Amino acid sequence: MALSTPEFIRALPKAELHVHIEGTLEPELVFALAAKHGIRLAYGSVSELRAAYRFTDLQSFLDIYYSGTSVLLETADFHAMTSAYLRRAHADGIVHTEIFFDPQAHTARGVPLGVVMAGITQALQEAQARTGITHRLILCFLRHLPAEDAMRTLEQALPWRDSLTAVGLDSSEAGHPPSKFAAVFARARSLGLLAVAHAGEEGPPAYIEEALDLLHVQRIDHGVRCAEDPALVARLARERVPLTVCPLSNVRLRVFDELSDHNLKALLEQGLCVTVNSDDPAYFGGYLLDNFLAVAQALSLSHAQLAQLARNSFEASFLEPDAKHHWYARIDQLLARSPC
């Protein structure tokens, strides 16, 4: 008996490749940590804070996003935040996650990098032991800060090199091209770190090309504005450059007016390695399962297309080949039972 589309999505093994761990900080935990540390928030209640999550663009989101991190002060705080995300991820059918974190958002407040790393890595290891969910950790640089600050952050992270798989580039894209960070990414490559970068969300298609040609990234985070350049779309398809697309985020930040306007299906049909992710789910109204369910309905995706999105998530991941093939087989088995 064929599964319904929601049942099929829930059963699909999925990898999440674009999630900012600070962006999983739910208002309830913000208030709990604020009370713990005696921090007075600008909002009087959980509902008042959640009501403030009405963004007009990326910067309006970032303003409230960075203020939320003020409650993260101790190892236990980072552990609680990461553990909460991992419990939700497991419930959503995520079997592998590659998590972004922003050390500069914490060290600038006087929180030692070791505190950040200890809380996040302990939670990741515990979740893997408890549920089997595997992980990779990606250190992101804040692009609105000077490249010299990013370089210092990279050097400060060297004691935890073995816990890191890649570096990334996030925060406000406009006016901060990837080329600004070419030297930092070259240094990261010399350390054996892989690379990803946000590009082509609010920035132009040229930023995607810079990320590929100057930063030598393995995948592009967002990348939806590639559609404005047909030659770039052809290149991304030809080279199987993954795009970690975040549909609900794109609507909340006005990249697309409606989810039905999103180009995810069109890019998939053009042969691009597009994936579905949640970005900052506490702020954008949906975790990974919510994003899958929403695009399946809004874009009328078939089970075969949903399975391809799940396959793409493992293809684009930094998992070893044997692990990727294991999940490909699981996806193919599920699709064979429910091919509609």
Please say whether the beta carbons of 78 and 105 come within 8 A. no
Which regions of the chain does DSSP assign to beta strands (E)?
14-20, 94-101, 134-142, 166-170, 194-199, 219-222, 242-245, 273-276
What is the Cβ-side half-sphere exposure of residue 201, based on CA atoms within 13 angstroms? 30
Beta-bridge mates of residue 221: 198, 244
Q: 97, 59 in Cβ contact below 8 A? A: no
311: Cβ contacts below 8 Å, ≥ 6 apart: 327, 328, 331
Cα–Cα distance, 4 to 27 (Å, whole number): 33
Task: Give the CA dihedral 169, 281, 229, 262, nearest 10 degrees.
Answer: 180
Q: Residue 9 belongs to what H/E stretch?
A: helix 5-11
Find the catalytic residue in 16, 26, 201, 202: 201
Collapsing DSSP to helix, strand or coil, 332 comes out as: helix
What is the DSSP secondary structure assignment for residue 157, as one 8-state letter?
T
- Is residue 201 part of the annotated active site? The answer reads yes
Contacts of 210 (CB under 8 A, 6+ apart): 177, 178, 179, 199
Catalytic residues, by residue number, are 201
